[in-house]
Structure 1
Amino acid sequence: MKASGFGKRKQGLKRQTGGFGGGFGRGNAVPALDPATSPLASAANEQADSPAPELVDRLAELGEEALKSHFTADELRMATKGEVIRKIETLIDEMLVNEGESLNPQEKKDLATYLLNEAEDAIGPIGDSADSAPAKKDQNKQTLFEARDRIQVLLMEHIDPTAASELPRAELADQVGEVVGELLVQEKINLNLTEQRDLVSLLLDDMLGLGPLEPLLADDAISDIMVNGPKQVYVEKKGKLILTDVHFRDNQHLMNVAQRIVTAVGRRVDESSPICDARLADGSRVNVIAPPLAIDGASISIRKFTQDKITLDKMLEFGSITPPLAKLLKIAGACRLNILISGGTGSGKTTMLNALSRMIDKGERVVTIEDAAELQLQQPHVVRLETRPANLEGQGEIDMRDLVKNALRMRPDRIILGEIRGGEAIDMLQAMNTGHDGSMGTVHANRPREALTRLENMVNMAGLHLPAKAIREQISSSLDLIVQVQRMRDGGRRTTHVTEVVGMEGDVITTQDLFKYEFTGEDESGRLVGSFNSTGVRPHFLTKAEYFGLERALMEAMNG
């Protein structure tokens, strides 16, 4: 509700309560009564004490502006409505003191209720309702889904699926639309023309695409889609998880969509092979885990492929990095440093890897190795390799180690691993240390030091039984830079550390931070505020920067 609406409502209430007394007060035919005891005079006095509607409007507007500075979404979620009301009443008292005005108790109560509702609408739900409130169902969509479920079985009896799959979508839509119109009349289902068109789209999505997931895949604002069984689908928008009203008919419908995804890339998912990594035709990464491992129905996780290529310059616009930090990362890529990008799930590791890869010279030969190909390198000379799972007989598996070893025979200038997660770590380190400078990879870790520990543990997974010191020496001599990225609680992704691997001191790998993100608070919109600070140390790779003629630019970046 806007403030003006609130003001009009208040004005109407004052007319209703004050008009009766005012009318009699102005008439001279009525004998005068004792001012102290006259109910008519009391009504007139009450009317006189009522605040002007402009004051109520102004206080409502001021209160709306002040809410975001007084409450955050997390504070509302942790509070009760009683606590929030008390804080709002205190806020109203402060505004009245500043304005030099006053409100009667009822007006103050109404204003507090209005601001409470505004806080929930603009900032977030209060108390346990933040976690437990179900998403509001769109009744029209629910009706549409029910109509689809009834019509779909009947439609299959009237069309030839094989012939339908060969028709262009527009022509098929016309033919399906005619049949659907007849079936709706037959089943006595009342839908308007817009709903009938939407119903035809839903049916075509099931016949030709990925069913209920198609509208989500078409929405550019969605970055991740998470299907938790047939009746629950979440999406990520602007870093926040949102429950959608999308659902599948049943477990079998969900499994049909999952199998359609994986068979398109020559893989399978069923009870004997319930875990599968795949990709969509547009490059989106997909993970499927089916029953019996997924108890409540198949789970599908889709990391959407972004058509809009993210660069370091675009990260500047998003506030993920600052100009000095962007310059440092560009120099690191151009100087052929071996870079490890570290971060948690969904923190933006692959995005950062894609952005850094833009610094690779167009004349270099690059080999990428991934479980499911999703890197978006812009260079013309790129060879993309992808692992292969075992067949039904348990044979024919090609893992990351096999591909890294083979990549070394392909005369690469750089090798890029989408994700290092096992024994291939030792092969990657050896490649970095044997003439393939500028190689890159990602690893799951929460801090740069943890990334080194994980790398050491993954080398041990290769079963070579190397001494710990030998592994650490291999890491320190191969790796140059660790870029730590993190998804923060406001949904934003930021580069929190740029850490240089310097060498060894005894049995310990030594590092130095070049840049660090310092959190300072949050603004009125709930977005975290902080600064990306240079530590001011002399970069260890300054000598290499001199070789490429970039030492001056590097020092400018370090000096901010």
Structure 2
Amino acid sequence: MRARPTARSGASWVRAEVAAGRTLGEALDAGTAGALGSGTLLRLEHDLRAELLGAGTLLAPLLAAPDVTDVLVNGPTGVWADRGDGLVRVPDPRRVLGDEGAVRGLATRLAAACGRRLDDAAPVVDGTLPDGTRLHAVIPPLAADGTTISLRTFRDTTLSLADLVALRAVPAHAAPVLRALVTARANVVLSGATGTGKTTTLAALLGLADPGERIVCLEDSVELRPAHPHVVHLQVRRPNVQMAGEITLADLVRAAMRMRPDRIVLGECRGAEIRDVLGALNTGHEGGWATVHANTAQDVPSRLVALAALAGMSESTLAAQAASGIDAVVHLRRTDGRRHLAQVGVLHRIGDRLECVEALTVAADGRVSAGPGVDRLASRVGDAAVAAALGAGARVAVA
């Protein structure tokens, strides 16, 4: 007869039962109910679910915290979390995470939860957990100091433009410009560095689109969740271990054009799909949005040129198509931990080169000033929206 476990050995006993094939509930009911109090039993079940099915007893609470955006694991000794004010080290992670073998096991389990594999044949994985959390993991020998795990949280709550104003991410007097870009069905590039709030801002702005419009979002993994009644999500498919079966963003752009879209939205443009996106924006598809990584609005053209080179496009071809197809660049910045609107620019072609001319500059305190491209922006979104951003009675033209 199997000995009934004690409270002290209950956790390890349940682990053994689960490993032997019982469900977690069966294991708990079979051996621990009589030895453990109800409160201890609930805590044990919660911890075991985290260890066996989730991100573990250290990472799961961090990912569940509403203010945490990123959790990073650098082997068994380094765990960092970003709560909006930059990365902060989590104390004494080894006691909870265990050794390198345990961290690798955690990464492998998370990869499996994404439907991916992580082993010596596939030492790098990128995927999305069932709750929407994005996973990136690398194992040794590629990760020289131990298995690294990068997790970016996903929140069910979608912020609105009014929420961004309340959070001081967008000055109240600049909000009409962003709203007008959506209403006027302008084609816009949303730029910024990692962690500046590009996805959050884009989702908020897409929520302003006419409810009768069909929005097709193309992403590596689904992150955009705009508050809109008609959104279709397409996501890429990675190649299998035989390097077959890949569906790229460029493939999805071509597919989206046949889906009767009112707006084509590219979650992140970072490769040869720039050719297909610009092709769509230059063939009557209005109201498109795409995000790119860039340090400033003025750096967006060089970023686009680099992406175009991956598609075999010359700089002159890129300049011609981007200047014609993209109406504005909206740039976000992170200052002292606060994500905020920093610039609105317009693209201008000078010979064979593409330049971004600043139309509006937003200071850290929310003051908005006009740049040389303000007239062109006003011609696209209307004088009233630009005048509101600059202040009551402001002249749109720059002296």
Deviations 1:400-420 (A, max 9, x none): 111112222222111111111
What is the Cα deviation at residue 332 of structure 1? 0.8
1:506 aligns with 2:355: no
1:434 aligns with 2:279: no
- The 3 A distance-change label for structure 1 pair 202 and 437 is same
Residue of structure 1 equivalent to 2:33: 178
Paired residue for 1:259, among 100, 104, 108? 108
Residue of structure 2 equivalent to 1:64: none
Deviations 1:63-108 (A, max 9, x none): xxxxxxxxxxxxxxxxxxxxxxxxxxxxxxxxxxxxxxxxxxxxxx
Letter in 2 for 1:463: G
Q: Residue 331 of structure 1 contacts residue 554 of structure 1 at CA under 8 Å; is this kept in 2?
A: no
Residue of structure 1 equivalent to 2:332: 485
What is the Cα deviation at residue 255 of structure 1? 2.7
Q: Residue 33 of structure 2 contacts residue 41 of structure 2 at CA under 8 Å; is this kept in 1?
A: no
Letter in 2 for 1:540: R
What is the Cα deviation at residue 479 of structure 1? 1.0
1:455 aligns with 2:268: no
Unpaired segments ≥5 residues, structure 2: 1-6, 393-399
- The 3 A distance-change label for structure 1 pair 244 and 199 is farther
Residue of structure 2 equivalent to 1:532: 367
Output the CA distance in 1 between the equivalents of 2:379 and 2:104. 56
Q: Residue 180 of structure 1 contacts residue 200 of structure 1 at CA under 8 Å; is this kept in 2?
A: no
Instruction: Write the mapping of 1:154-173 to structure 2, written as runs, cut at 5 A.
Output: 154-159=13-18, 162-165=21-24, 167=25
What is the Cα deviation at residue 511 of structure 1? 3.8
What is the Cα deviation at residue 297 of structure 1? 2.2
Output the CA distance in 2 between the equivalents of 1:261 and 1:344. 27
SS of residue in 2 equivalent to 1:307 = coil
What is the Cα deviation at residue 310 of structure 1? 1.7
What is the Cα deviation at residue 337 of structure 1? 1.0
Q: Residue 515 of structure 1 contacts residue 532 of structure 1 at CA under 8 Å; is this kept in 2?
A: no
Deviations 1:28-84 (A, max 9, x none): xxxxxxxxxxxxxxxxxxxxxxxxxxxxxxxxxxxxxxxxxxxxxxxxxxxxxxxxx
Output the CA distance in 2 between the equivalents of 1:196 and 1:284. 28
Q: Residue 155 of structure 1 contacts residue 180 of structure 1 at CA under 8 Å; is this kept in 2?
A: no
What is the Cα deviation at residue 338 of structure 1? 0.9
Instruction: Write the mapping of 1:102-251 to structure 2, written as runs, cut at 5 A.
Output: 153-159=12-18, 162-165=21-24, 167=25, 177-178=32-33, 181=36, 198-212=43-57, 213-245=59-91, 246=93, 247-251=96-100
Residue of structure 1 equivalent to 2:226: 377
Q: Residue 63 of structure 2 contacts residue 153 of structure 2 at CA under 8 Å; is this kept in 1?
A: yes
Residue of structure 2 equivalent to 1:113: none
- The 3 A distance-change label for structure 1 pair 411 and 197 is closer
Q: Which has the higher contact order (CA 8 A, sep 6+)?
A: 2
Q: How many residues align?
A: 381
Output the CA distance in 1 between the equivalents of 2:378 and 2:131. 40
Output the CA distance in 2 between the equivalents of 1:162 and 1:386. 34
Output the CA distance in 2 between the equivalents of 1:446 and 1:161. 53
Output the CA distance in 2 between the equivalents of 1:180 and 1:250. 30
Output the CA distance in 2 between the equivalents of 1:532 and 1:221. 27
Residue of structure 1 equivalent to 2:395: none
What is the Cα deviation at residue 196 of structure 1? 7.4
Q: Which has the higher strand share?
A: 2
Letter in 1 for 2:47: L
SS of residue in 1 equivalent to 2:337 = coil
Residue of structure 2 equivalent to 1:471: 318
Letter in 1 for 2:334: R
Output the CA distance in 2 between the equivalents of 1:508 and 1:395. 38
Q: Residue 297 of structure 2 contacts residue 356 of structure 2 at CA under 8 Å; is this kept in 1?
A: no
What is the Cα deviation at residue 497 of structure 1? 0.9
Letter in 2 for 1:203: L
Q: Residue 277 of structure 1 contacts residue 372 of structure 1 at CA under 8 Å; is this kept in 2?
A: no
Output the CA distance in 2 between the equivalents of 1:536 and 1:421. 28
Instruction: Write the mapping of 1:312-391 to structure 2, written as runs, cut at 5 A.
Output: 312-391=161-240
Residue of structure 1 equivalent to 2:121: 272
Output the CA distance in 2 between the equivalents of 1:151 and 1:399. 48
Deviations 1:254-285 (A, max 9, x none): 23332332323322222211222211222222
The TM-score normalised by the length of structure 1 is 0.63
Q: Residue 50 of structure 2 contacts residue 56 of structure 2 at CA under 8 Å; is this kept in 1?
A: yes
Letter in 2 for 1:535: A
- The 3 A distance-change label for structure 1 pair 260 and 511 is same
- The 3 A distance-change label for structure 1 pair 161 and 438 is farther
Letter in 1 for 2:14: L
SS of residue in 2 equivalent to 1:324 = coil
Output the CA distance in 2 between the equivalents of 1:388 and 1:434. 27
What is the Cα deviation at residue 506 of structure 1? 2.7
Q: Which one has the largest radius of gyration? A: 1
Instruction: Write the mapping of 1:399-438 to structure 2, written as runs, cut at 5 A.
Output: 399-438=248-287
SS of residue in 2 equivalent to 1:396 = coil
Q: Residue 325 of structure 1 contacts residue 515 of structure 1 at CA under 8 Å; is this kept in 2?
A: no
Residue of structure 2 equivalent to 1:68: none
Deviations 1:149-198 (A, max 9, x none): x8654433345654314x4xxx86666653774xxxxxxxxxx9977764
SS of residue in 2 equivalent to 1:458 = helix
What is the Cα deviation at residue 531 of structure 1? 3.4
Percent identity over the alignment? 34
Deviations 1:205-255 (A, max 9, x none): 212322232211221121111111123211111322121244412233223
Output the CA distance in 2 between the equivalents of 1:175 and 1:516. 66
Q: Residue 359 of structure 2 contacts residue 377 of structure 2 at CA under 8 Å; is this kept in 1?
A: no
Q: Which has the higher helix share?
A: 1
- The 3 A distance-change label for structure 1 pair 179 and 261 is farther
Q: Residue 177 of structure 2 contacts residue 381 of structure 2 at CA under 8 Å; is this kept in 1?
A: no
SS of residue in 2 equivalent to 1:323 = coil
SS of residue in 1 equivalent to 2:363 = strand
Letter in 2 for 1:354: A
Taking only aligned residues, the RMSD between alpha carbons, in angstroms, comes to 2.7
SS of residue in 1 equivalent to 2:257 = helix
1:308 aligns with 2:157: yes
What is the Cα deviation at residue 535 of structure 1? 0.9
Deviations 1:378-428 (A, max 9, x none): 222222111111112121111111111222222211111111111111111
Q: Residue 368 of structure 2 contacts residue 389 of structure 2 at CA under 8 Å; is this kept in 1?
A: no
Letter in 2 for 1:218: A
Output the CA distance in 2 between the equivalents of 1:414 and 1:302. 30
